[in-house]
Structure 1
């Protein structure tokens, strides 16, 4: 994936400014910065959720918003995950899995169990804690084994055990993936990211 001269202006404000970066498989890219610096907007751009004002995003030989609306084979967790409150966690994941028919029932159950969730539980999502909803958000992002993984504050509201399970997943599955994540948890950035970028007022610079 290559980001070329990417800028985004919203209501006269430059929220992303002339970003140029090449992202390659096998790496975990961390993006840090203050709230409002443009981190989430950058992730939204990578995911195809916003159209750049200027510049392009190339994925292999295709150009985002010209040859495709969204990156193919992408897992996404942006801000707080939303689900159908009247369904169980498993029912929500199964509904999402039915779209692409990649993740099997067995895969969903395995991930739920690994993340400390009971796939047979009748508990509806409306009764879930923030941590349980975050776990569900992570599972929906990774259950189809995507080659592009875009994660906005993925460890927010998670307990230490779950954070370690998640970090281990990223470390053991990064070889065939491009993983881009933001996090206010310094340990997330310091322990698993192969490259670290700082976002300041819409400007992206590599720091490590």
Structure 2
């Protein structure tokens, strides 16, 4: 299979404190890779480095034969959820997505509404985000990540805050994304998410990520 993301001898430190070191992982196109570990171990930091939001201290990350922070500043054609993206509370869910969509201008209003519909947000499209529940805001984050039909998704705790019905909806969306050839890189404290979605899971231990047997 074709490698779409290559992590080579990656190391990250903060003020001389090591977060991870000598990480070597090959992520194949059309696969789902999960990262697990305790809170604060460095999972989200690694995702930020893959995206280009944070610089490695050593090593490199290559996406589609382009080195992040060298050939390109940020990963391309990727939907991302890392930590909590800021929405404008005084605007509706639909308007928030429209503002984001206008940055690249590759989708139209119908695409936005279709994305909201599959996430069961269409009925709330005209409600201000400030009145959204935690779960609704999480689905809005997922909507902004998938609405432009990226080839890669990098999702930090994608089912966080969702009720059981919404978890099922999101899992089905992600399974279809992978089946169509998309590549998913994710973290989750939900073992069932990992079991259902991931081809491989890497667990943090002693400043590195090691593949777990499924």
Same fold by TM-score, threshold 0.5 exceeded? Answer: yes
State which of 117, 122, 129 in structure 1 corresponds to 2:133. Answer: 129
Counterpart among 39, 42, 67 of residue 46 in structure 2: 42
Contact 1:89 1:119 in 2 (8 A): no
Given that 2:154 and 2:184 are in contact with CA atoms closer than 8 Å, whether structure 1 keeps it comes out as yes
Q: Match of 1:66, SS? A: coil
- In structure 1, what is the equivalent of residue 185 of structure 2? 180
By relative contact order (CA 8 Å, sep 6+), the higher-ranking structure is 1
Q: Partner residue of 2:200?
A: 195
Deviation at 1:58, TM superposition (A): 1.0
Aligned partner of residue 164 in structure 1, secondary structure = helix
Q: What is the root-mean-square deviation in Å for CA atoms of aligned residues?
A: 1.3
Output aligned runs, 1:1-208, within 5 Å.
Answer: 1-118=5-122, 121-174=125-178, 175-208=180-213
The list of structure 1 runs, each at least 4 consecutive aligned residues, that deviate by more than 6 angstroms after superposition, is none
Alpha-carbon distance, 1:118 to partner: 2.7
| Range with bigger deviation, 119-128 or 83-92 | 119-128
Equivalent-residue separation in structure 1 for 2:149 and 2:207 (angstroms): 30
Deviation at 1:122, TM superposition (A): 3.2
Distance in 1 between the 2:198 and 2:125 partners?
34
Aligned length: 208
Q: For 1:78 and 1:61, how far apart are their aligned partners in 2?
A: 23
Q: TM-score, normalised by structure 2?
A: 0.93
Calculate the TM-score normalised by the size of structure 1: 0.95
State which drifts further: 41-50 or 99-108: 99-108
Distance, in Å, in 1 between the alignment partners of 2:113 and 2:124 is 9
Following the alignment from structure 2 to structure 1, what is the Cα–Cα distance between the partners of residues 169 and 207? 32
Tell me, in whole angstroms, the C-alpha distance in 2 between the residues paired with 1:178 and 1:86.
Answer: 34
| 1:57 Cα deviation after fit | 0.6
Give 1:103 deviation, angstroms. 2.3
Counterparts of 2:46 and 2:20, CA distance in 1: 7
